[in-house]
Amino acid sequence: MTTISGVGIHSIGDGRFIYDGREVSFEDMVFMVQMEVINRVDEQFAAKFNEIKERNKKIKDINDILAMLRKYQNYFNKDGEWIGPDDLKSKYKSSTGKDVGLMKDEDKSKWLEFYREYCQTGIVDDPGISWDCAFSKADIDGFMENAKAAISNLNAENELDMMVLNRLGNQRNSYLQLMKSLLEKISQARSEAARL
C-alpha cells in the first residue's frame, strides 16, 4: 500500500483504487493525488507570502520611526550642540559631554512601542535612546545606521523569499500541466480501448 501525506492508496483491481477510504477510478485517484500536491504547494506559497507581508510591515514601521527621529536629528548642529526648541533640551549632558534632547510627549509613546517591538527583540539595535526617550546626536545617528541596516537585512530576506515564491509558482504550474497531460492521455487510452 502506498501512502501520500498520511492518505492510504491501494488497488482493488479493474482500474479501481481505495483512496482516503473511498473507492475511486484511476483517473480520479491521479486527480486527487495531484490536487493534494498542489494544495501543499499553495500552503507553502501562502506561508512565504505572509512572511514577506510581515517583513514589509516591519520595514514600514522602521521607516516611520526614522522619519520621526529625523526631525530631532535636525535639532542638533554637526558638532552635536542643541539648536532646537529650549523646552526639548535636557539639563543633563551625555556621558561624552554633549547636549541631550528630549522627545515630545506625543512621540514618546511611539518610540516606546517601537522600542519594545523592535529593539528589545533584536530586530534593530539601539545604541542609547532606550526607555528614557532622551538622546544625543550620536545616539540618533547610531540608531539611524542600525535601522537602515535592519531594513537592508529585511529587504534581502524578502528577495530570497520572492525567489522561493517564483519557484513555487512555477512548480504549481508544472503540476497542473502534468495533471492535465496525464488525464488527457488516460482519457485517450480509454477511448481507444473502448473502440476495440
The pLDDT tens digits of the residues spanning 25-74 come to 877 777 788 888 899 999 999 999 999 999 999 999 999 999 999 999 99
CA dihedral over 116, 118, 121, 124, signed as positive or negative = negative
Residue 128 has a pLDDT of 84
Q: Residues 177-188: pLDDT tens digits? A: 888 888 788 778
Residue 48 has a pLDDT of 96
For 174, the enclosing helix (H) or strand (E) is helix 137-195
Q: Residues 118-172: pLDDT tens digits? A: 998 999 998 788 788 999 999 999 999 999 999 999 999 999 999 999 999 999 9
The 10 Å CB-count burial string (b at 16+, else e) for 157-175 is: ebeebeebbeebeeebeeb
CA dihedral over 158, 164, 168, 174, signed as positive or negative = positive
Give all strands of the β-sheet with 134-135 in edge-to-edge order: 89-93, 99-102, 134-135
**6: CB partners within 8 A, 6+ apart:** none
CA-derived radius of gyration, the chain: 30
Q: Extract the C-alpha cell encoding 125.
A: 539595535
**Mean pLDDT computed over every residue of the chain:** 89
Task: Say if residue 190's pLDDT is above 80.
Answer: no
Q: Extract the C-alpha cell encoding 100.
A: 541631550
Residue 88 has a pLDDT of 96
Cα–Cα distance for residue pair 99/95, rounded to 1 Å: 10
Cα–Cα distance for residue pair 70/63, rounded to 1 Å: 10
Cα–Cα distance for residue pair 191/188, rounded to 1 Å: 5
Task: Say if residue 189's pLDDT is above 80.
Answer: no
Residue 7 has a pLDDT of 57
Give residue 3's pLDDT band: very low, low, confident or very high (50, 70, 90): very low
Residue 28 has a pLDDT of 78
CA neighbor of 52 nearest in space, from 182, 170, 134, 163: 163
Residue 158 has a pLDDT of 97
Cα–Cα distance for residue pair 134/94, rounded to 1 Å: 9
Cα–Cα distance for residue pair 123/117, rounded to 1 Å: 8
Q: Residues 71-110: pLDDT tens digits? A: 999 999 999 999 999 999 999 999 889 999 999 999 999 9
